[in-house]
Amino acid sequence: MATLHTLSLRLDRLVDWFIPPEIAADRVMRKQTRMFLISHLLGPFLGNTVPLALYIFDPHPQWDIAVLAASITGFWIFPFVLKAHGHYNRLALISVQNLLFCILWSCYWYGGVTSPTLPWVLTIPLLAFFYIGETPQLRAPMLGMFAVNMVVFGLSMYLLPAPGHGIPTAELQGLGIISTTAAALYVAMMAIYYARALASQAELEAVMRHHITTARNLRQAAFEAERANRAKSEFLAKMSHELRTPLNAVIGYSQILIEDAEDSGQVDDVVDLERIHAAGQHLLRLVNNVLDLSKIEAGHMQLYCQEFNLGEMIADAVREVTPAAGANGNTLDVSIAPDLQIILGDELKLRNAVTNLLQNAAKFTSNGRISVLARRLTGAAEDLIEIRVQDTGIGMEKAEIAVLFEKFAVVNDHSSTKYGGTGVGLALTRQLCRLMNGDVTVTSEPGVGSCFTIVVPANVSAALQPVNELQRTLAIARAMDPLVEADRAAGSGAEKEPKWA
- pLDDT score at 408: 56
Say which range, 14-18, 230-234, 387-391, 483-487, has the weakest mean pLDDT. Answer: 483-487
Tell me if residue 89 falls in helix, strand or coil: helix
Confidence grade of residue 272 (pLDDT, cut at 50, 70, 90): confident
Tell me if residue 313 falls in helix, strand or coil: helix
Amino acid at 390: Q
Tell me if residue 19 falls in helix, strand or coil: coil
Round to whole Å and give the CA distance between 369 and 390: 8
For the CA atoms of 450, 451, 454, 455, what is the dihedral angle to 10 degrees? -140
Is the pLDDT assigned to residue 279 strictly greater than 90?
no
Confidence grade of residue 463 (pLDDT, cut at 50, 70, 90): low
Which conformational region is residue 157 in: left (phi greater than 0), alpha (psi within -120 to 50 degrees), or beta? alpha
The most confident of the ranges 61-65, 124-128, 338-342 is 61-65
- pLDDT score at 467: 41
Is the pLDDT assigned to residue 171 strictly greater than 90?
no
Q: Decide if domain 306-489 falls under CATH 3.40.50.620.
A: no
Confidence grade of residue 57 (pLDDT, cut at 50, 70, 90): confident
Is the pLDDT assigned to residue 372 strictly greater than 60?
yes
Contacts of 399 (CB under 8 A, 6+ apart): none
DSSP 272-305: HHHHHHHHHHHHHHHHHHHHHHHHHHHT------
- pLDDT score at 485: 43
Contacts of 231 (CB under 8 A, 6+ apart): none
Is the pLDDT assigned to residue 48 strictly greater than 60?
yes
Report which of residues 474 and 364 the model is more confident about.
364
pLDDT digits (tens, 9 = 90+) for 3-22: 766 777 787 788 888 888 88
Is the pLDDT assigned to residue 100 strictly greater than 80?
yes
- pLDDT score at 131: 75
- pLDDT score at 500: 35
The most confident of the ranges 3-12, 174-183, 475-484 is 174-183
Is the pLDDT assigned to residue 377 strictly greater than 50?
yes
Is the pLDDT assigned to residue 400 strictly greater than 50?
yes
Round to whole Å and give the CA distance between 352 and 432: 8
Which conformational region is residue 13 in: left (phi greater than 0), alpha (psi within -120 to 50 degrees), or beta? alpha
User: Over the range 324-359, which residues count as b (16 or more CB within 10 Å of their CB) and which as e?
Assistant: bbeebebebeeebeeebeebbbbbebbbbbbbbbbb
- pLDDT score at 305: 87
Q: What average pLDDT does this structure show over 383-406?
A: 85
- pLDDT score at 396: 86
Q: What average pLDDT does this structure show over 39-49?
A: 87
Q: Is 441 exposed, middle or buried (0-12, 13-18, 19+ CB in 10 A)?
A: middle
Say which range, 149-163, 213-227, 231-245, has the weakest mean pLDDT. Answer: 231-245
Is the pLDDT assigned to residue 488 strictly greater than 50?
no
Beta strands 331-336 and 384-391 are: unpaired
- pLDDT score at 471: 47
- pLDDT score at 271: 79
